[in-house]
């Protein structure tokens, strides 16, 4: 993804050393969702050292805890076109709860779709008893389509219903869908991770779209689990 560099995102929570991009005392916009309502509220962040149970030896505290006084925070955001105030959420309907990413989204009376499209990969080598595919998770607006993320997938012959396993047992998914930059069009916060132990939220804004894009990826954050 080609990022603009003018925006940033920082999820709340505990991170390994160096994964937090926010600094203690900085002001960010907290994307808050509560009972269906969404807002961007100014928040002063606290970034403090804590014990990282995964890697720290006794007496060490290399972890980074990111928090604020704001509640119900999905993530913290910064950048042009983002301002404090109410945010309109999209209505999101999952088309297949157990399969690859597939949704219908409605915002300001407009309908979008997100679909996972896969084709056989004749170049790669899959494990015995499995087939390898090249997959794209696409945003569709009428006749316009944009790939949000691409990743390989496998399908085992043992799976009767033919479901795909994306990436390394990954579960890419929508974290937030709505009009964050208030231009009347869909924006997305989407976890584009291709690995079960990696979180990779990406901020896509319609107001930064270029050329034939529906959305432009303006910021991302990568963090490893255990």
pLDDT in tens, 191-222: 999 999 999 999 999 999 999 999 999 999 99
Q: Which residue has the higher pLDDT, 163 or 126?
A: 163
Rounded average pLDDT over 169-173:
94
Structure tokens at 126: 């899959």
Q: Which residue has the higher pLDDT, 43 or 120?
A: 43
Sequence-ordered list of residues with C-beta below 8 angstroms from that of 62, at least 6 positions apart, any chain = 16, 17, 49, 52, 55, 56
Residue 77 has pLDDT above 70, yes or no: yes
How much is the CA Rg of the chain, to the nearest whole Å? Answer: 19
Q: Which residue has the higher pLDDT, 144 or 159?
A: 144
CA distances for 185 relative to 39, 56, 104, 109, 176, angstroms: 16, 45, 15, 10, 14
Residue 123 has pLDDT above 80, yes or no: no
Residue 20 has pLDDT above 50, yes or no: yes
Give the helix/strand (H/E) hosting 210.
none
pTM for the whole structure: 0.91
Model confidence band, residue 3 (pLDDT cutoffs 50, 70, 90): low
∠ CA 194-196-200 to the nearest 5 degrees? Answer: 55
Model confidence band, residue 36 (pLDDT cutoffs 50, 70, 90): confident
Residue 159 has pLDDT above 70, yes or no: no
Residue 2 has pLDDT above 90, yes or no: no
Residue 56 has pLDDT above 60, yes or no: yes
CB 68, CB 75: distance < 8 Å: no
Angstrom distance (rounded) from CA 218 to CA 13: 22
Provide the H-helix boundaries in 84-189.
none
Structure tokens at 106: 């409605």
Give the helix/strand (H/E) hosting 72.
none
Rounded average pLDDT over 17-23:
97
Residue 187 has pLDDT above 80, yes or no: yes
Residue 103 has pLDDT above 80, yes or no: yes
Q: What is the pLDDT of residue 119?
A: 92
Q: State the average pLDDT for the chain.
A: 92
**Residues facing residue 204 across a β-bridge:** 188, 217
Q: What is the pLDDT of residue 95?
A: 84
Q: What is the pLDDT of residue 25?
A: 98
Model confidence band, residue 98 (pLDDT cutoffs 50, 70, 90): low
Please name the residue that has the structure tokens 């996972």.
116
């Amino acid at each position: 993804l080609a990022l603009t560099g003018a925006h940033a995102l920082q999820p709340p929570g505990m991170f390994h050393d160096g994964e937090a991009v926010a600094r203690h005392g900085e002001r960010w916009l907290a994307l808050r969702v509560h009972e269906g309502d969404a807002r961007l509220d100014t928040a002063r962040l606290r970034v403090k050292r804590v014990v990282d149970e995964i890697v720290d030896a006794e007496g060490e505290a290399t972890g980074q805890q990111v928090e604020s006084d704001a509640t119900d925070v999905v993530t913290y955001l910064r950048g042009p076109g983002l301002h404090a105030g109410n945010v309109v959420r999209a209505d999101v309907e999952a088309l297949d709860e157990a399969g690859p990413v597939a949704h219908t989204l409605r915002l300001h009376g407009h309908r979008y779709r997100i679909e996972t499209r896969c084709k056989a990969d004749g170049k790669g080598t899959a494990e015995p008893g499995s087939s390898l595919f090249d997959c794209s998770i696409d945003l569709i607006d009428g006749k316009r389509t944009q790939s949000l993320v691409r990743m390989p997938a496998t399908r085992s012959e043992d799976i009767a219903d033919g479901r795909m396993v994306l990436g390394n047992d990954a579960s890419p998914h929508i974290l937030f869908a709505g009009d964050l930059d208030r231009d009347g069009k869909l924006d997305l916060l989407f976890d584009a991770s291709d690995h079960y132990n990696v979180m990779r939220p990406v901020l896509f804004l319609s107001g930064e779209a270029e050329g034939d894009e529906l959305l432009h990826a303006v910021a991302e954050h990568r963090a490893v689990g255990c």
